[in-house]
Amino acid sequence: MIVLMAFVGLSVRLFLINRDNGEEYKKQVLSQQEYDSKTIPFKRGNIVDSNGTILAVSNKVYNVILDTKILLSDEEYLEPTLNALRSAFGIDTNEVRNYIATHPTSSYYVLAKRLDYDKVAKFQELKNDEETGAYIKGIWFEDEYKREYPNGTLACDVIGFTRSDNAGQYGLEEYYNDVLCGTNGREYGYLNNDSNLERTTIPAVDGYNIQTTIDANIQGIVEKYLKEYNEEYKDNYRAGNGAQNIGCIIMEVDTGNILAMASYPNYDLNDVRNTDNLIGMPQLDEKGKKTGEYLTKELIDEMDDETMYQHLDALWKNFCIVDTYEPGSVAKPFTVAAAIECGAITGNESYNCEGKLHVGDYDIKCHQIYGDGYISVAQGIERSCNVVLMNVAFAMGQDKYVDYQHLFGFGLKTNIDLAGETRTVSMVYNKDTIGPTELATNSFGQGFNATMIQMITGFCSLINGGYYYEPHMVSKITTNDGATIENIEPRVLKQTVSQSTSDKILEYCNLVVTGENGTGKTARPAGYMIGGKTGTAETLPRGNNEYVVSFMGYAPADDPQIAIYVVVDRPNVAFQHDAKHATRIVRKVLTEVLPYLNIFMTEELSDEERAELEEMQMQITMQQTATEEGTEGEEGTSEGADGSETEGDTGETSGTEGAGQEGTAEEGTGEEGTSEETVDTDRWKEFPVDPETGYLKDPDTGNLVDPETGTVVNGGSLISGGEASEEGQSEESVEDTEDEGEE
């Protein structure tokens, strides 16, 4: 009875409240429903280059919102409002009428999204008109921010992009998402005791800005020449791009700062789903493996959504930190440095190269199959002789080799501040799995996989006195008003070699460019002296005549300030194992970058070099003029690809014993050097010229030989005498390791 009486009393009280104060409370409830949920969006932080050039920015845009209830509160409002919508925004008023008719009580309906202020301002002018403006009702604007990239494709792999929900995807946008994102604000509306509307606002907190180590000018130079290479070799030998991938990294030797990182094909950050960028890329099957075919517009048009995303995902990934490959001869300085550092050799030893070396059950060939004769360790680097490197590795032993490979960072992430770096621990041998054959092939860069960022980071430690810097892309985090939140200083992680060993590696690598038999002569820019190492790697399956060619170098030669690494993955030519595909890109890039960095010429210019520089300057001027006029200027032409200087690097895969194929055109393997009998190493110079290719032709074997280096450009596998094992890496090593990279 007490409970029933309580309910009766409560019912009476509710009736009296509703009778006496119902309208007032109704206004309060409606007010809260209408205003409490209004969100004030934060502005995502900017991304700028090292000079403050904006690479990514969030600009305010506006959504047009229709409040049907207000619009229908007076019949005089309808037509003037619809006319204003049509005039300012080009909105189809028939569709608006249909919506109003079916939703007369709606308070929120989006008529248009992400409009620039110019369009909103035009509507506001109509609304402020003295005659008609008073009748334009029921329209308001919702603030939002739109991510924009002023430079389009520039540094697309580095920057990444954002989804519609403002979350970063790939690159810096993803890695620094928490830093770039802020906190949304709120606007609360309510009626006070006098039934007057009041608002309380909690402002949004904008995200922080990040300043990168990238220099937009250097980045632009790199991307220009990668694109130029692609344009020259596109659809050259087969349909498709000039190469499956082309990558370039420029890094400060003594800081780990990345000045430029680019790959081709690239994409427009403002139009990331544009499928035109896919044309010419390798086609993938349902498992993400390459089919051997290349994408055409017809194939793209037939793709379903899942297949399309699979290929776009391949386009969006950063080749420089995601894709793995056998590095080939660019790994030779690491082997020599390790052997000198551990005391296995002094660097003054000599070995006899007879064109091959018998290891276990296999004959591993040198790129110079006619042999180099007795040559020193320094000459072994200069000529890229596999035989010398195998003997150096044998002197060091398996355990020491594995220890130093780990010390140089192979198999480990560099922890660069970019999303998606691949983990390669399964791509290198350990002390339990490496054997004599694996040691032999690993010594010249085959049989294990690495990424571009691993290679150049470790290489910088070889030439800067042994200091291994953690590579990084961001130098500073700031607020919108310029206050510094964090300075990211260069960080030395370890010392890999001593100063004396580093000096020897510089001496040897300088010979690669300046020596009479150096394989990297074509990398030297006019007026400068540089050092480095070339590389050429045969991909799996062995004998497929597909190669990854590269050059890793530094400038100036006597005091390295920057390192550069260019990789060309399967160039679109008949004979791919020619490191000049990489060295010529390096030459062009450094010709512009070194003067920009105020690194002065030290070498006298020949008449030919002077004419070359004048022509390049004229092309640059024409490009700048064309850009200012809103047109796309000519970017110059790139040189042809005759000759073949190749090393035994391997593309995306590596075999354990089958890796010894590096000697395709630039490196060598020979017999262990125990024989006192030398071979005629210059016999190839007497070969006749093949009129169809321009190469020298061995009359006995039919092999085509580079007239500059004596390397065979169309030879088969470097390893013979047994069935070479390829159990180390899979052909699709890039895809296989990517999941691990996300862990």
Q: Which amino acid is it at 399?
A: D
- β 290-294/350-353 pair status: unpaired
Q: What is the 3-state secondary structure (H, E, C) of 396-448?
A: HCHHHHHHHHHHCCCCCCCCCCCECCCCCHHHCCCCCCCCHHHHHHHHCCCCC
Share the mean pLDDT of the chain. 84
Mean pLDDT, to the nearest integer, of 709-721? 65
Give me the mean pLDDT over the 136-152 stretch.
91
Domain 58-145 identical in fold to domain 321-600+648-722: no
| From the candidate CATH numbers 3.40.190.10, 3.90.1310.10, 3.40.50.300, 3.40.630.30, the one assigned to the domain spanning 58-145 | 3.90.1310.10
pLDDT of residue 429: 94
Q: Which residue has the tokens 């400068």?
A: 528
CB-CB contact of 463 with 505 (8 Å): yes
Write out pLDDT tens, residues 342-354.
999 999 999 998 8
pLDDT at 259: 98
pLDDT of residue 658: 36
Confidence of residue 195 (pLDDT cuts 50, 70, 90): low
Alpha carbons 664 and 372: distance in angstroms, whole number: 14
Cα 635 to Cα 303: distance, rounded to the nearest angstrom: 34
Q: Could you read off the pLDDT of 50-98 as tens digits, one per residue?
A: 999 999 999 999 999 998 888 888 888 888 888 888 888 888 888 888 9
Q: What is the pLDDT of residue 622?
A: 77
pLDDT at 721 over 70: no
pLDDT of residue 674: 34
Domain range list for the chain: 26-53+151-212, 58-145, 268-314, 321-600+648-722
**What pLDDT digit, counting tens, does each position of 402-421 carry?**
999 999 999 999 999 999 99
The mean per-residue pLDDT over the stretch 526-532 comes to: 94
What pLDDT was estimated at residue 716? 59
- Give the pLDDT confidence of 643-701 residue by residue, as tens digits: 344 343 333 433 333 333 333 333 333 333 333 333 456 666 777 777 777 777 777 67
DSSP code of residue 680: -
**What is the average per-residue pLDDT within 615-641?**
61
The predicted pLDDT at position 661 comes to 36
pLDDT computed for residue 714 by the predictor: 67
Average pLDDT over residues 168-185: 95
Alpha carbon distance 302, 316 (integer Å): 21
Answer yes or no: are the C-beta atoms of 176 and 417 closer than 8 Å. Answer: yes
What does the pLDDT read at residue 654?
A: 39
Q: Give the pLDDT band (50/70/90) at residue 484.
A: very high
Residue 684 structure tokens: 């190839």
Has residue 483 got a pLDDT over 90? yes
Residues 425-458: tens digit of each pLDDT: 999 999 999 999 999 999 999 999 999 999 999 9
SS3 242: coil
What is the rounded average pLDDT of the residues 242-268? 96
CA distances from 545 to 247, 460, 498, 499, 634 (A): 21, 31, 39, 40, 33
User: Cβ contacts of residue 692 below 8 Å, gap of 6+?
Assistant: none
Question: Angle at Cα 325 formed by Cα 722 and Cα 412, nearest 5°?
Answer: 110
Please state the rounded mean pLDDT for residues 605-617.
83
Amino acid identity for residue 412 in this structure: L
> Cα(636)–Cα(585) distance, rounded to whole angstroms?
12
Largest CA distance in the chain: 121
Compute the average pLDDT of residues 195-207: 79
555-580: average pLDDT: 93
Tell me what pLDDT residue 191 has: 57
Compute the C-alpha angle 448/338/430, nearest 5°: 40
Extract the tokens encoding 455. 């290679």
> CB–CB of 697/704 below 8 Å?
yes
| DSSP conformation class of 121 | H
Sign of the CA dihedral 392, 397, 400, 405?
positive
pLDDT at 663: 38
Query: 263 in helix, strand or coil?
Result: strand
> What six digits make up the tokens of 510?
């300088």
How many Å apart are CA 363 and CA 34, to the nearest integer? Answer: 81
Residue 622 CA: distances (Å) to CA of 28, 153, 219, 288, 634:
68, 21, 19, 42, 7
CA dihedral 461, 216, 588, 584 (to 10 degrees): 60
Q: Is the pLDDT of residue 641 over 60?
A: no
Q: What is the pLDDT of residues 303-330, one digit of tens each?
A: 999 999 999 999 999 999 999 999 999 9
Q: Is the pLDDT of residue 231 over 70?
A: yes
The pLDDT value recorded for residue 103 is 87
Q: What integer pLDDT is reported at residue 16 of this predicted model? A: 84
Q: What's the pLDDT at 27?
A: 58
Cβ neighbours for 36, distance < 8 A, ≥ 6 positions apart: 188, 189, 190
- 545 band by pLDDT with thresholds 50, 70 and 90: confident
DSSP per residue, 153-181 = TTTHHHH-EE-TTS-EESHHHHHTHHHH-
Please name the fold of domain 321-600+648-722: Beta-lactamase (3.40.710)
Write phi, then psi, for 563 (nearest 5 degrees): -115, 145
Average pLDDT over every residue of 389-396: 95
If you search the block for the tokens 């990424």, which residue do you land on? 451
Contact 224, 246 (CB under 8 A): no
* CATH number 3.30.1360.30 given to 26-53+151-212: no
Lowest mean pLDDT: which of 7-21, 27-41, 196-210, 267-281?
A: 27-41
Percentage, residues of the chain above pLDDT 90: 55
CA distance 333 to 566: 17
Q: Given pLDDT bands bounded at 50, 70 and 90, which one contains residue 192?
A: low
pLDDT of residue 448: 93
Contacts of 47 (CB under 8 A, 6+ apart): 54, 55, 56, 57, 159, 172, 173, 180, 209, 210, 212
pLDDT single digits (tens) 94-112 = 888 899 888 888 888 899 8
